[in-house]
């Protein structure tokens, strides 16, 4: 009986090792993330007009060529509907809304030069005291490889199996033999 309990404890420990091995299965993914310091920053004032359905503002930024960027609009009561970008030749550049909230768009430049940004939107509130300034930042995007452990939660189960297996083995070793 004593040997059976020790063997059971060892089997539980081995099961813990198997769970731990499964928890190390990972997946890597390349992701574009914003570099810490903006390549361009500007505060734009868009005066609030009480009966305007859509407000627009334009600004220019000189950017590097063949580079992915993210443009972020922050600290404002202004809600962006879209950002149209034209390159130095006047061709429109497609943008992708990053979070679906209208605050951040990503795009890629085709050549070095001055890009024009036409942004339209509306103010979220219709009252006095509206913040009519918008902080615009353009960040260069860089590739980063991230590793995701698909079954990381199983590590806790593995630790639990190890503890239970050790306890079972100790109990089995300390039990007296029946005569």
Selection from 163, 106, 170 nearest residue 139 by Cα: 106
Same domain as 89, residue 13: no
With cut-offs at 50, 70 and 90, classify the pLDDT of residue 101.
low
Same domain as 90, residue 16: no
Same domain as 68, residue 130: yes
Same domain as 119, residue 45: yes
Displacement of CA 27 from its chain's centroid (Å): 16
Run of H or E including 155: helix 154-174
Same domain as 164, residue 108: no
With cut-offs at 50, 70 and 90, classify the pLDDT of residue 58.
very high
pLDDT of residue 67: 94
Same domain as 21, residue 6: yes
Distances (CA, A) of 128 to 47, 48, 97, 123: 12, 9, 30, 11
Query: Domain range holding 162?
Result: 2-25+150-174
Domains contained in the chain, number: 2
Residue 179 lies in a domain: no
Sign of the torsion angle spanned by Cα atoms 141, 113, 81, 96: negative
pLDDT of residue 59: 96
**Mean model confidence pLDDT for the chain:** 88
Same domain as 47, residue 122: yes
Same domain as 155, residue 105: no
The CATH number for 79's domain is 2.60.120
Instruction: Render pLDDT for 27-45 as a digit per residue (tens, 0 to 9).
Output: 888 888 888 899 999 999 9
With cut-offs at 50, 70 and 90, classify the pLDDT of residue 90.
very high
Residue 125 lies in a domain: yes
Same domain as 21, residue 34: no
pLDDT of residue 50: 82
Same domain as 139, residue 96: yes
Same domain as 37, residue 21: no
Instruction: Render pLDDT for 138-164 as a digit per residue (tens, 0 to 9).
Output: 999 999 888 888 888 888 889 999 999
pLDDT of residue 32: 86
With cut-offs at 50, 70 and 90, classify the pLDDT of residue 6.
confident
């Amino acid at each position: 009986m004593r040997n059976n309990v020790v063997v059971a404890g060892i089997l539980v420990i081995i099961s813990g090792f198997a769970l731990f091995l499964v928890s190390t299965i990972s997946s890597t993914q390349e992701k574009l993330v914003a570099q810490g310091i903006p390549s361009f920053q500007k505060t734009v004032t868009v005066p609030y007009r009480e009966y305007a359905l859509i407000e627009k503002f334009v600004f220019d930024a000189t950017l590097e060529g063949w580079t992915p960027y993210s443009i972020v609009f922050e600290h404002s009561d202004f809600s962006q509907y879209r950002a149209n970008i034209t390159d130095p030749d006047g061709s429109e550049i497609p943008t992708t809304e990053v979070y679906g909230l209208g605050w951040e768009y990503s795009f890629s430049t085709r050549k070095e030069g001055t890009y024009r940004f036409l942004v339209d939107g509306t103010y979220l509130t219709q009252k006095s005291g509206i913040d009519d300034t918008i902080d615009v930042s353009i960040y260069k995007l860089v590739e980063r490889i991230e590793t995701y452990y698909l079954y990381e939660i199983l590590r806790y189960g593995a630790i639990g199996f190890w503890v239970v297996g050790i306890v079972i083995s100790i109990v089995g070793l300390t039990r007296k033999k029946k005569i």
